[in-house]
Structure 1
Amino acid sequence: MTSFDFPPVALPEPARRLREEVRDFLAAERRRGTIMGRADSWFTGWDAGFSRRLAERGWIGMTLPKRYGGHERGALERYVVIEELLAAGAPVGAHWISDRQAGPSILRNGTERQKTRFLPEMAAGRCFFSIGMSEEHAGSDLASVRTRGERVPGGWRLTGTKKWTGGAHVNDYAIVLARTDEAAGDRHAGLSQFIVDLRAPGVRIEPIKLLSGEHTFNYFHLDGVELGEDALLGAEGDGWRQVTGELAWERSGPERFLSTLPLLVAAVRKLAGTTVTGEQQARIGRLVARLHALRQLSLGVAMALQAGQSPDVRAAVVKDLGTRFEGELVNEVRAILPAVPDPAATPGSYPELLAFALMHSPAYTLRGGTNEILRGIIARGGENRS
């Protein structure tokens, strides 16, 4: 299999049955008033109670081993669950990072003590993680990180500042990438990862507000934070390999093309009560066709990850195509069904959903690696193939 192979994937019958269970659950949650159907729900919809109710259904930590609180279900079953949650605009932000990458990374790289301490709590919807990768001058270029990790008696001391750390003000822990060997000749060497308690002495959180005024991002200051030996995740100096493994999970999931789907659903429902022109039908049809293609690509990466592969290039393809689509969908829907975006409109109404999606648009092609960086990964993959 090459870097650009996306084999067709058919959902097994258990996954199809599971989809109906998830839809029933979401219908009940709508009646509770917990689902607003907004875009970007995986990013800004933080609701610990909702996450715990998902966990009670066994829908967090689905692929983790049972001995660590997981459910040993397949990647496609997990995919169906998160696909339905995203399509509904459900508030899944609290557990998202834990379930998507922190848990799998600890399972792959952690000590037995770390696995038994963190994974069952994650699967129960009681332990939430943030990502401590990006910095002021090291966003997509993570090898430029300046946060330092130095050995001290009994453990480590971390010093530096992370930026764009989503959820650091409400989550429990962050996995932090730091440079632990200044003498390493290769800038990709000498990096290590650490599990940091976000309430530890020396941790300081400074908010970064979105255009909408929402507090999701943060500066995450580590002012000489003292850590024990057991805070090191994986092998010292192996941080780059670990981080690039996480990025395949981070870049390829359906959240990379479904973030704005609730807006499309709202527009179609609004159009259903009007006389629809042929042009409107054609433009909606093109959006749905692109969604279908992106979904097939993303499913292919999910299967590759389940098979133990490292589909970095394929994940970059999904994110590049998917996040561009998210922004284009907002503009296209606005052209199909013109309206004045109004964040103060009735919650869940088309003008309110449109305003919300527009204000979040600048982040779609940035978070998880800019499209320029992704295209470099894709180009190198093409060179290796030839």
Structure 2
Amino acid sequence: MTAMRHYWLATAAKTGAVLADLPGLSVPKVKKVIGRYEPATASFPLVGKGVPVDWERILIEGATVFHLLRDNPNDPAHGIPVWGGMLVRPPRTEADDVQLSLQTAEWYFDGRYVGDKKYTGVGQNLIVKDLVESFAAAGPNGGLPIRVEIVNGGDGKPRDREYQNSDDKTLYSVLQELMGVIDGPEWTIGWEWQANPERITPVLYVGDRIGTAKPAWMPSPAAVFEMPGSVLSFTDDRSYGRGKGANVVMAKSSGQGGARPESTPMVAVDDLRPTFEYRFTPSTSIKDVGTLDEHAQAKLQILKDGSPTLEMVALADRGPLLDVDWFIGDDIGYSIGKSSRSRRQPAAIQVDPEGYAPASPVDGEGYGSMAGLTLDTDNYAEPAPDTRPIVPAYPRGREGVARVIGWELEPQGTPTVTPILYAPE
């Protein structure tokens, strides 16, 4: 298999025009998450081969975007834009290189403020579109050359929202608040090539959901990561610590005492845990209790079962390929420890009606408490004495489906990718 090549180039932030190839740029890792900006660090050489002639222009903070691209077999002249980071800080010293601080383009939204806007019964995706076009694509000095594409849900759920210039709310905080309500719009920024003139420009994708869910009729998603296979490591971590788990959630806004707007306490019935409470402020300017209720409901869905975190690191050029076989927001599958060397007949699981059923009631490989479960040992075949499971934590293997809410890529050396997975079941 031919190794996948990743490479870097710089573009002008205001136009997207290509400034230079950057063969000497070193970036250990980059990260992307739905609805959030992420940092990266880079080493920009000032001596040696490959240093751009106009490097001083490239190192103007706030004016340059650094792009990671991957070879495109269908168009060798134009690589696939994988990631883009705006230059925030380029401190120069006596050294032969400059250590750069980068942020994904969502960071730009945190430096733009929302003016007076009122929406009554307007689809939430249209609200996001109008806000971005009004307060990111335009400005006294211009804005980013960004276009907005609605990818799922059409206009979206009708919402009532009012924003005032005097509230001093950034576009980033407003979009995060809107995404944080129950069934709120999701959004993320990608990059695309443009022609005449040739340039790379940002695209904000917004919809009721970013990415594709696994259809109910499909036994597994189109992209499945396997160990043995492309997966190098796998971690299933769970927490019910502060901010990680709660079964009673309340959202509040600014104010004092009884004058403070707050939601109804949202409760998830829990037969196993005592009451764990969590209170938070999604925005200091929310006055409508119904909006606070929606925020509390959305947060409860995240916290009620704790915070199970799946993490797997895979070879980027083996198995499913990022932005080819799977994209941010997609459902993907994983199969850990399944092989002919260690495969055994799984135990049949019987669910006590009083117990808590796991996500996969046939083989017990999903999430869930084991309370109320019994094993039918007649259907369980013990392994041969000299058989050792490939992954001891999952002696019968582990299969499942999770949603990719972000990813981390290490492009140097042997490229690896870490999907950031959300699997609440």
TM above 0.5, yes or no, is: no
Higher helix share: 1
Tell me which structure has the larger Cα radius of gyration: 2
Q: Which has the higher contact order (CA 8 A, sep 6+)?
A: 1
Higher strand share: 2
